[in-house]
A and B are shown apart, each in its own frame.
Chain A
Amino acid sequence: MNQVEQTLRLLTQHQVEFVIVGGVAISAHGSAYLTFDLDVCYARSRSNLQRLTAALAAYHPRPRDFPADLPFHWDERTLQQGTNFTLSTDLGSIDLLGEVTGLGDYEQVRAASVVMPLFGMDCQVLSLDGLITAKRAAGRTKDLLVLPELEALLELTREPND
Chain B
Amino acid sequence: MNRSIEEQLLNPQPSTAAARARDFGIDLTLLIGRLNLTPEERLRELQRAMIEIETMRAGLQRQDGHLHESSRTDVATADSTSS
Contacts and interface: CB of A to CB of B under 8 A. Distances in A.
Determine chain B's interface SS by DSSP, over half rule: helix
B40 A30 contact: no
Interface residues of B, number: 32
Interface stretch (A9-17, A70-78, A105-113, A145-153): A145-153
A1 B28 CA distance: 29
Interface centre among B27, B30, B46 (most CB of A within 10 A): B46
Given A31-B34, A34-B49, A157-B5, A5 B43 contact: yes
A31 B39 CA distance: 10
A117 interface: yes
A29 B43 CA distance: 10
B40 A118 contact: yes
Contact of A32 (B18, B30, B50): B30
B56 interface: no
Nearest to B38: A117
Contacts of B44: 5
B34 A149 contact: no
B26 interface: yes
B76 interface: no
B50 A4 contact: yes
Given A2-B50, A149-B31, A155-B17, A125 B24 contact: no
Interface size class of A (residues with CB under 8 A): 20 to 34
A40 to B, nearest CB: 14
A152 B30 CA distance: 13
Nearest to A32: B30
Interface of B: 5, 8-9, 12, 16-18, 20-21, 24, 26-28, 30-31, 34-35, 37-40, 42-44, 46-47, 49-51, 53-55
Interface of A: 1-5, 24, 27-32, 34-36, 92, 116-119, 125, 148-149, 151-157
20 contacts: A2-B54, A5-B43, A5-B44, A28-B43, A30-B42, A31-B31, A32-B27, A32-B30, A34-B49, A119-B40, A125-B39, A148-B26, A149-B31, A151-B21, A152-B18, A152-B28, A155-B17, A156-B9, A156-B35, A157-B35
